[in-house]
Amino acid sequence: MLLNVLLFLVHTLLSLLSALFLLRFYFQLCKVSFQNPAAEWVLVLSQFAVKPTRRILSVFKNFGLSKVDLSTLLLAYLSQLTLFSLTLWLKDFPLIVAGSQIWPSLLGLAMMGVMNISLTIFLYAVLLQAVLSWLNPLTALAPLLDSLTTPILTKMRLFIRPIGHIDISPLVFVIGAQLVLATLLMPLENHLLANL
């Protein structure tokens, strides 16, 4: 009972932390205005870890990666790696004596976790944007969601034309994202877990 509560807390806290770092990464990548209250909230909550990590990774500026905020992406990855390692340790998996063959699976699981959360962020952003466009298009979240989803939906609209005056690209994205989650990411994650 106590183990289940502990596993739930570890999974929840580290998944939320990963999502926070990934939101900041995608907000910067998609040029979301940090004047928006929700974006400002993400900025403030993630600053405790991003600032020191950014200082450490400043050496990569010489390699032409200064436009991409590697610190937030790295922190999201490390959060997922910690999540999977702690989960195994709490379930009495012998991490210390397992040897080096466990690390490729753990590193792969952390990558799958980052991809899963990333896809989920965009999935919910598109869904929320579609719902808010019907209910309250002038909400404070609208510019943030528009900046976040426009790069994806604009590319999709090149291939998916509106039916009448209805834009179906958000629906196609939602279905496609769920298919990727169900047919690619989940089976791959299960395969990596089976290799542990």
The first and second tokens of residue 78, run together, are 């490390």
- Amino acid identity of residue 23, one-letter, is L
Q: What average pLDDT does the structure give for the chain?
A: 90
pLDDT higher than threshold 60 for residue 65: no
Share of the chain above pLDDT 90, in %: 64
Q: What is the pTM of this model?
A: 0.91
Give 94-139 pLDDT, tens digit per residue: 777 777 778 899 999 999 999 999 999 999 999 999 899 888 888 8
Q: According to the model, what pLDDT value does residue 3 have?
A: 87
For residue 161, pLDDT beyond 80: yes
Please give the Cα distance from 104 to 96 (Å, whole number).
15
What are the structure tokens assigned to 17, written together?
A: 């932390």
What is the total residue count of the chain?
196
Q: What is the pLDDT of residue 109?
A: 95
Question: To the nearest 10°, the Cα dihedral for 86, 89, 90, 94?
Answer: 170
Residue 42 is predicted with a pLDDT of: 95
Q: Average pLDDT of 52-69?
A: 73
Cα 149 to Cα 143: distance, rounded to the nearest angstrom:
10
Q: What is the pLDDT of residue 32?
A: 92
Of residues 15 and 160, more confidently modeled: 15
Output the pLDDT for position 60.
66
DSSP 25-61: HHHHHTT--TTSHHHHHHHHHHHHHHHHHHHHGGGGG
Look at residue 101 and give its three-state secondary structure.
Answer: coil
Query: For residue 93, what pLDDT band results from cuts at 50, 70 and 90?
Result: confident
Number of domains observed in the structure of the chain: 1
pLDDT of the residue at 20: 97
The residue with greater pLDDT, 33 or 66, is 33
Cα angle at 131 between 159 and 162, to 5 degrees? 25
Alpha helices (H) along the chain: 2-29, 37-56, 70-90, 102-135, 141-157, 169-180, 186-194
Task: State which residues form the domain around 84.
Answer: 2-194
Q: How far apart are CA 11 and CA 22, in angstroms?
A: 16
pLDDT at 64: 59
**What was the pLDDT predicted at 196?**
75
Q: φ, ψ for residue 51 (rounded to 5)?
A: -60, -50
* Position 53 confidence tier, pLDDT thresholds 50, 70, 90: very high
Q: Give CA 126 to chain center in angstroms.
A: 14
Question: Looking at the predicted structure, is the pLDDT value of residue 11 above 60?
Answer: yes
Residue 92 pLDDT: 85
Nearest to 126 by CA among 142, 147, 145, 140: 145
